[in-house]
Every structure is written in structure tokens, then in C-alpha cells.
């Protein structure tokens, strides 16, 4: 039971998300009211009922609340440090949700740090990859946490260009936030995902508009959210990509930092996902999607959010 006094105290604190704490109390977060929350929009298509879910970098825990609303069986929320512990606790009480919290430190070696928690049907890694020195190391360490045939959702800043480059935030030229390092191009990010046996099946992209502090002159930067299916070793890369397959099996970095089990006897996750109509043809042809094409030719773009349920505002009530 949360007292009115506790709610009134909390509503005055700094919040990342905008959260309704009582019918007449809304804690104001950092995002504008019509800013789209794409991980939330994509997660709506995932069948989380009865599934094991992990959220990496949870802040106050809005994604865990949404996982709970979608009927997840087990929810683990993890963050580098428990900097939102009190607000997270409050959110669980106000929203009647429950999850376990894990303090994981820097987002490396995650499968070792979370080894006692086993593997998950759904893993979310949103808003974290641009904060780490080594995005590949983080992806490598998250991969073993996803069950065979499970889903992995990744959201990060990218450059919308046809290249296999990753841009560094030299002198804050991408953004002044001092904890931000890399923006990969969309095709390179896709290649990295495929290299770690993640096949992209859906995405949404939002360009940083020219009036945003994140706008970079001469470069189209934006935020992308991607849902991937965890597939067997080598199944997400081109049949002709012998380098990737040899690297997966033989490079010291891969085998040391991404200890994936490829046991044919492992019971696969049965988690479902509703593929949007516009991607169904490409999925039927290839079993996965080309992210650059999906963003630039198949309409997987968002500008402003059209519905409150697609924003960073969490309301009491029933929406996911
Ligand atoms: C921008 S917030 C994203 C919150 C949430 N995942 C979302 O997408 O709405 C960044 C999250 O990553 C964590 N984080 C930031 N920098 C980090 C770092 N260098 N290592 C590990 N975690 C970090 C923060 O504690 C926070 O939970």
C-alpha cells in the first residue's frame, strides 16, 4: 500500500518516463508528449503471455510494467546500478506488477552476470548500445541469454546510410551527452545482429528532426528499434559469408565473449510475433528483413506519436 504522501513526494522527483501515479498525479518525465516510444510499439506485437522476459537498462521500470500487463510469467529488470530503486518499487506497487531487479554494472559479460537466471524468451536492450564503449561486446554477451527461437529487441541511435561504418561521437558532434559513443549505420547494425545469430523480423525508425538537439548537419541520424529472432549458428548470415561462419567458430573474441549453446536437443522458445503486413512478403521470401529497405522503402518509420499508448507516458488503466 502506497500512501498519498509517498506519491506526492515522488511526483516531485526527477523521472525519465512520464508516469501516472494516481488519477490526479502524473510524474513528468524527460520526453515531449508526442515522442514515440518505439520499443513499446514493437513489443505490443510480441506474444509475452506465459514467457520469461528480461529488460536490460530499465530505469524506473516502464518496460517491466508493460511486460507484466502482457502476461509475462517471469520478469527480470536489470540496470548498471540501482539508481531508480525507490521509483521502481513504487511503480510495482502502483501498477500491481512484480519483477526481480539485478544490478549488473557495465553492460558486458551479461550472460555470466545473469547466469543464475537462466535464459529468456524475450530480451530487451533499448537505449543502452550508444552508451557503451564496445557495442559488439555488449551484443555478444546478451546473445546467450536469449533462448533458441526467442526474441531480442534492440533500440539504439543509428546513421541512415548505406555503409558498413560506425560513427564516433568525436568532440560531441553526434550529441553532447557525455555518456554517448557510437552510432552504427543501419546495415552495419544489421550485420552485427546477424553475426550474433539474430535474424531481424521487424523494426521502426524515427529520424532525429532538424529542430532536435540530436540533429547532425549533413548526416541523417535517427533512433531504430529492431525485433530479432534468435536462430541457429550461421543461419542469419548469407550462405556465401564464409568469413562470418569461420569467425563465429574460431575467433577468440567470439568464443570467449559470446558463449552460445547450440544444443540441438534444447527446447526452443515458442514465443510468437505478429509481423506487420508491409513486411510479410519480405519475411516469406527471406525469413528475415533488410532493415535499410524496411526503413527507407517499406514505411517502417514513425515521426510523432499519434496515440498516447505509443509515447513515454504510462497511464493507469489497461493499455499495453
Ligand atoms: C537512455 S536509458 C534507456 C532506458 C530504457 N531501456 C528505455 O529504452 O526506455 C539508458 C539505460 O542504460 C543504463 N546505462 C547507461 N549507460 C550505461 C553504461 N555505460 N553501462 C551500463 N548501463 C548504462 C542506464 O542506467 C539506463 O537504464
Per-residue pLDDT at 317 exceeds 90: no
- Would you say residue 319 lies in a domain? no
Chain Cα centroid distance, residue 159: 17
- Would you say residue 15 lies in a domain? no
**Any ligand 1 atom below 6 A from CB of 87:** no
Burial class (CB in 10 A: 0-12, 13-18, 19+), 60: buried
Q: Can you give the CATH number for the domain in which 292 is found?
A: 3.40.50.150
Residue whose Cα lies nearest atom 13 of ligand 1: it is 57
Q: What is the distance in A from the centroid of ligand 1 to the CA of 128?
A: 5
Strands 198-207 and 182-184: unpaired
**Any ligand 1 atom below 6 A from CB of 131:** yes
- Would you say residue 63 lies in a domain? yes
pTM attached to this predicted model? 0.97
- Would you say residue 28 lies in a domain? no
Name which of 88-92, 117-121, 142-146, 216-220 the model is least confident about: 216-220
**Any ligand 1 atom below 6 A from CB of 146:** no
Residue 210 is predicted with a pLDDT of 85
**Any ligand 1 atom below 6 A from CB of 179:** yes
CA distances 223 to 39, 154, 200, 226, Å, are 11, 11, 16, 10
Q: What is the distance in A from the centroid of ligand 1 to the CA of 177?
A: 13
Domain residue limits at 123? 40-307
**Any ligand 1 atom below 6 A from CB of 64:** no
- Tell me the three cell numbers of residue 260: 552460445
- Tell me the three cell numbers of residue 45: 506485437
Q: How many domains does the chain have?
A: 1
- Would you say residue 30 lies in a domain? no
- Would you say residue 315 lies in a domain? no
Q: What is the pLDDT of residues 162-204, one digit of tens each?
A: 999 999 999 999 999 999 999 999 999 999 999 999 999 999 9
CA distances 176 to 109, 140, 251, Å, are 28, 27, 35
Mean pLDDT of the chain: 96
Amino acid at each position: 500500500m502506497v500512501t498519498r504522501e509517498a506519491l506526492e513526494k515522488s511526483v516531485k522527483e526527477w523521472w525519465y518516463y512520464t508516469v501516472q501515479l494516481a488519477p490526479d498525479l502524473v510524474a513528468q518525465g524527460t520526453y515531449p508528449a508526442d515522442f514515440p516510444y518505439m520499443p513499446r510499439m514493437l513489443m505490443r506485437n510480441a506474444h509475452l503471455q506465459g514467457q520469461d522476459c528480461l529488460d536490460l537498462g530499465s530505469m524506473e521500470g516502464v518496460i517491466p510494467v508493460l511486460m507484466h500487463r502482457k502476461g509475462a510469467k517471469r520478469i527480470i529488470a536489470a540496470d548498471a546500478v540501482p539508481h531508480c530503486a525507490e521509483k521502481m518499487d513504487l511503480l510495482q506497487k502502483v501498477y500491481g506488477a512484480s519483477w526481480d531487479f539485478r544490478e549488473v554494472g557495465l553492460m558486458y559479460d551479461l550472460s555470466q552476470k545473469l547466469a543464475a537466471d537462466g535464459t529468456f524468451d524475450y530480451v530487451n536492450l533499448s537505449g543502452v548500445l550508444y552508451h557503451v564503449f564496445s557495442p559488439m561486446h555488449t551484443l555478444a554477451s546478451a546473445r546467450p541469454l536469449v533462448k533458441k527461437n526467442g526474441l531480442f529487441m534492440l533500440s539504439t541511435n543509428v546513421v541512415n546510410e548505406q555503409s558498413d561504418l560506425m560513427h564516433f561521437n568525436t568532440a560531441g558532434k553526434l550529441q553532447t551527452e557525455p555518456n554517448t559513443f557510437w552510432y552504427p549505420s543501419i546495415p552495419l547494425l544489421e550485420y552485427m545482429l546477424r553475426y550474433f545469430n539474430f535474424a531481424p523480423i521487424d523494426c521502426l525508425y524515427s529520424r532525429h528532426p532538424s529542430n532536435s538537439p540530436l540533429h547532425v548537419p549533413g548526416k541523417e541520424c535517427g533512433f531504430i528499434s529492431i525485433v530479432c529472432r534468435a536462430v541457429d549458428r550461421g543461419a542469419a548470415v548469407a550462405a556465401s559469408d564464409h568469413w562470418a561462419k569461420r569467425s563465429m567458430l574460431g575467433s577468440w573474441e567470439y568464443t570467449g565473449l559470446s558463449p552460445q549453446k547450440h544444443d540441438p536437443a534444447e527446447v526452443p522458445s515458442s514465443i510468437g510475433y505478429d509481423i506487420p503486413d508491409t513486411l510479410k512478403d519480405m519475411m516469406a521470401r527471406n525469413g528475415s528483413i533488410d532493415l535499410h529497405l524496411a526503413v527507407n522503402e517499406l514505411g517502417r518509420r514513425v515521426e510523432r506519436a499519434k496515440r498516447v499508448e505509443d509515447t513515454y507516458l504510462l497511464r493507469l488503466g489497461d493499455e499495453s
